[in-house]
Amino acid sequence: MNKTLWQYYVDKAKEITEKALENIKNLERWKKERQQIRKEFFISAGLYSFEKCDLSIKFLGELKKTGFVVRKIAYQIFPDCWSSGHLYLPDPMPERKLPGVLYACGHSGLGTYWYHSHGVMWAKRGYACFIFDTIRQSENNGDHHGLFTGRCLDWISKGYLSTGGELLNSIRALDVLCEMPEVDAERIGSTGISGGGAHSHFLAIADERIKAVATSAGISVVSSAIGYRSMFQHCDCIYTYGNFQRDISEFSALIAPRPLLYCFASDDNLFFREEYLALYDRVKKIYKLYGCADKCELFEYPGPHAYSEASVKKINDWFDRYVAQEPHPEVRLEENFIPEPELAVFNGKSPEPNRLNLLPELLTVQKTRFLPKNEQEWNQIRAETVLNLRKNVFHWLDRCNEKMEISNIGKWIFENINFRRYRAEVSGMECYIEAFFRKPETKTTIIATGDYHENVDTLRERIGEAAEDCNLVLVEQRACGRNAADIKQGNYFLYRAGALCGITPAMMWMNDLKYIVEYFRNAPECRGTNFVLYGTGEAAGSCLYYSIFDEEISAVVLDNPVDTHNDGCYIPGIMREIDIAEATGLIAPRVIAVIYTGSPYWFLKMHWGIRVYERLGIKHRYIMTNSTYAGIKNVLSKLG
């Protein structure tokens, strides 16, 4: 017992990977589940929905070389968000339309310049090849590394991942290629290596215009990402969030029955042989159900994280067979030879305005909702909002199989207090509890939870005097108190691991509260009392959302909660639905107190949550104060 938060994520990731596709026994079952998995893929990739804008394709120059032509192209992936690439065509052109290759750049060097030898090779082989930059290469000013750097933890709550930004970029690059009059839009394949291997793979999942895919050294399963710590070498675009606890193999299987070629180098230190062999076996299972096992292959070759002559030939043959549907001349991959200035698309200055750096915000617009005019309207607004939260954000809680076992480890009586100690366990992690039951019986039970640095002693010091007439249950949650994860001391990778598993600490604590509240509701000393939840910091958010779903909670006290989910209490995708200040309104008409000792933000912001209480004529039930003692006492006075 008492595993670390990191080990919890290691075990959870292993469970996700090992359970992938295990219930798919026949094609009928797969086809039944396929559409839901596809929907979950877009959400997990961070691209919930979008409307295609005008591509506004700009041709910014052409180079003519021996045997091929290069066109410099700029295009919009979203309004005022520009990307760039190069179209390579054979010269002279054949009479019939060309098969197409969409080549996604890896993360080396200057994107399309770095990989231009591939475009030359494909053009000389008789293909049209469009090589496009990632959202951060060349003059593209988007943010690609995100959580990897620890700078963009707000992406978790926004539900954004650079996977989604790159997927949008890839879809729009495919639109560009399909627009070219020289290209046969019915014969297009996608390929790339490393990050480009991931992008070409995700595009094939998302867009069935891709007739075949050959992905090189770009697919990582969550169990290896965390268990083997490869996440420390990979940026975000290679992963999906774990909102639905789906392994990448389940998403990869969506490509079936279209041809899928995995290429991996056996000495690549970024990927593990055990990892890609298991991935291949799981996905191959789905191809077998379709009766086309030959359309899913793994090509393994010796060497480091790079192409080999053999892997390039394998990819060429794969596309000849499944994209062009006929043999094409063999052409060797040469070293880059076109000078960078000749290939520069924007030459350092992209179109203005270019809002590519705002893509995370542009793709994650928060919902809004009406304020109620009366109690009847409020009941409808609240029910709809809570349902959407449950369905779109907190669905993990409904299918979570993590149960808490609580055992009493000591009891004493002194003066008019029954003192109890409890040890609880969830998935091998400890949750420690102390309880003080008053005699004679009280009307109120306060369950107090603390942030990472809080323990039962600091919680008692903080609220004990204000709760002197109440039952008091003090909780050191998982990864808190004496088992603290030190997540605030730069260990942001724990948030990232939680996002990849779809279970951040705030969500874990909500699940724990379910069992703690149930346990003490059934305790003889607490039965029939008002239950008040108290939480500090990020734990305040867990108390808030648990209370939104458990309407038998009489009141909630939030002590120095985060101002916004952008700054903490990270919950995957929550900002698409609501932010924490607005969410406080969903407690109405129950009592809520917000305590701030250092920041005026909450007091100054007349947000939706406060206005709900005003509209319902119960503003006195929304308490704001800078004193923990006053906040709790005020809550208790309103409960009677």
What integer pLDDT is reported at residue 307 of this predicted model? 95
Residue 564 CB coordination number (10 Å): 17
List average pLDDT for each run of 10 residues in the chain, which is 640 residues long.
Answer: 90 96 95 96 92 94 96 96 96 95 88 93 98 87 82 93 95 98 98 96 98 96 93 90 96 98 95 94 97 98 95 98 97 91 89 90 92 95 97 92 94 89 95 91 94 94 92 95 76 91 95 96 94 96 98 97 92 95 96 83 72 95 93 93
Q: What is the DSSP letter of 494?
A: H
Tokens for 627? 């004193």
**Cβ 403 vs Cβ 515: under 8 Å:** yes
Distance (Å, whole) CA 417 – CA 437: 5
In this chain, the answer to whether the domains covering 9-362 and 383-639 adopt an identical fold is yes
Rounded to 10 degrees, the C-alpha dihedral 89/90/91/97 comes to: -90
Q: 308-316: long-range contacts (C-beta < 8 A, 24 or more apart)?
A: 308/265, 309/333, 311/216, 311/263, 311/265, 312/121, 314/214, 314/261, 314/263, 315/191, 315/214, 315/216, 315/261, 315/263, 316/125
3-state helix, strand, coil in the chain (%, to 5): 40, 20, 40
End-to-end CA distance of the chain: 41
Count the helices and strands in the chain (H runs, E runs).
23, 18
Distance (Å, whole) CA 146 – CA 235: 8
What integer pLDDT is reported at residue 491 of this predicted model? 77
What integer pLDDT is reported at residue 50 of this predicted model? 84
Distance (Å, whole) CA 565 – CA 516: 25
DSSP string computed for 21-73: TTT--SHHHHHHHHHHHHHHHHHHHT-----------EEEEEEEETTEEEEEE
Residue 581 CB coordination number (10 Å): 20
Distance (Å, whole) CA 63 – CA 281: 44
Tokens for 511? 């699940």
Domain limits of the chain?
A: 9-362, 383-639
What integer pLDDT is reported at residue 599 of this predicted model? 61
**Cβ 275 vs Cβ 228: under 8 Å:** yes
Tokens for 352? 């203005």
What integer pLDDT is reported at residue 485 of this predicted model? 83
Q: Encode burial over 202-228: b for 16+ CB neighbours within 10 A, e otherwise.
A: bbbbbbebbbbbbbbbbbbbbbbbbbb
What integer pLDDT is reported at residue 137 of this predicted model? 83
Name 83's bridge partners. Answer: 75
What integer pLDDT is reported at residue 331 of this predicted model? 95
Q: Which fold has domain 383-639?
A: Rossmann fold (3.40.50)
What integer pLDDT is reported at residue 348 of this predicted model? 84
Distance (Å, whole) CA 425 – CA 435: 17
Domain 9-362 has CATH 2.40.50.140: no
Distance (Å, whole) CA 431 – CA 446: 17
- Could you tell me the pTM of the whole model? 0.94
